[in-house]
């Protein structure tokens, strides 16, 4: 079966620092990946996506890196702000979507 998972369940960073959230996937047929952000009591919101023919994609303050060789995905958040505190999910589509368990990002003042 396929799985998408995160290395760490929690991550604490100082405000202003960069954050890196990692994700591993097992289905080598996955060709599309997404990062979502979920705040307490709210549903997941799309952040950024990347297709398997790319290894990097940048958005506003966020960058997603894809390493297909080791089946690893990461989300980098530049200059982390208090509003970035949330749970972050990675998701990959191969045969079907799977959302890995989330990583809770806490931004320290």
Partner 1 sequence: GAGVSQSPRYKVTKRGQDVALRCDPISGHVSLYWYRQALGQGPEFLTYFNYEAQQDKSGLPNDRFSAERPEGSISTLTIQRTEQRDSAMYRCASSYGLDTDTQYFGPGTRLTVL
Helices (H) and strands (E) in the chain, counts: 0, 11
* Terminal C-alpha separation, the chain: 41
SS3 label, residue 18: coil
- The nearest distance, CB 44 to partner 1, in angstroms, is 5
Chain positions 90 to 109 lying near partner 1, rule: CB under 8 A, are 91, 93, 96-102, 104
Give the nearest distance from C-beta 23 to partner 1 in angstroms: 12
Q: Does 25 bind partner 1 (CB under 8 A)?
A: no
Give yes or no for a contact between 44 and 37, defined as CB atoms under 8 angstroms apart.
yes
Helix, strand, coil percentages in the chain from 3-state DSSP, rounded to 5: 5, 55, 40
Compute the distance between CA of residue 34 and CA of residue 21 in angstroms, rounded to an integer: 13
Binding test (CB under 8 A) with partner 1, winner from 11, 21, 34, 64: 34
Sites for partner 1 among residues 55-84 (CB under 8 A)? none
Q: Which is nearer to partner 1, 39 or 79 (by Cβ)?
A: 39
Q: With contacts defined by CB under 8 A, how many residues of the chain interact with partner 1?
A: 27
Task: Kindly list the residues in this chain that would bind partner 1 in the complex (CB under 8 A).
Answer: 4-5, 9, 32, 34, 36, 38, 40-46, 49, 87, 89, 91, 93, 96-102, 104
């Amino acid at each position: 079966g396929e799985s998408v998972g995160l290395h760490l369940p929690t991550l604490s960073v100082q405000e202003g620092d960069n954050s890196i959230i990692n994700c591993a996937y097992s289905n080598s047929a996955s060709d599309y990946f997404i990062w979502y952000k979920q705040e307490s009591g709210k549903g997941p919101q799309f952040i950024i996506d990347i297709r398997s023919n790319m290894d990097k994609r940048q958005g506003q303050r966020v960058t997603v890196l894809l390493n297909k060789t080791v089946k690893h995905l990461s989300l980098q958040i530049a200059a982390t702000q208090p509003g970035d505190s949330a749970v972050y999910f990675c998701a990959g589509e191969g045969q079907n979507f799977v959302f890995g368990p989330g990583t809770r990002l806490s931004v320290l003042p």
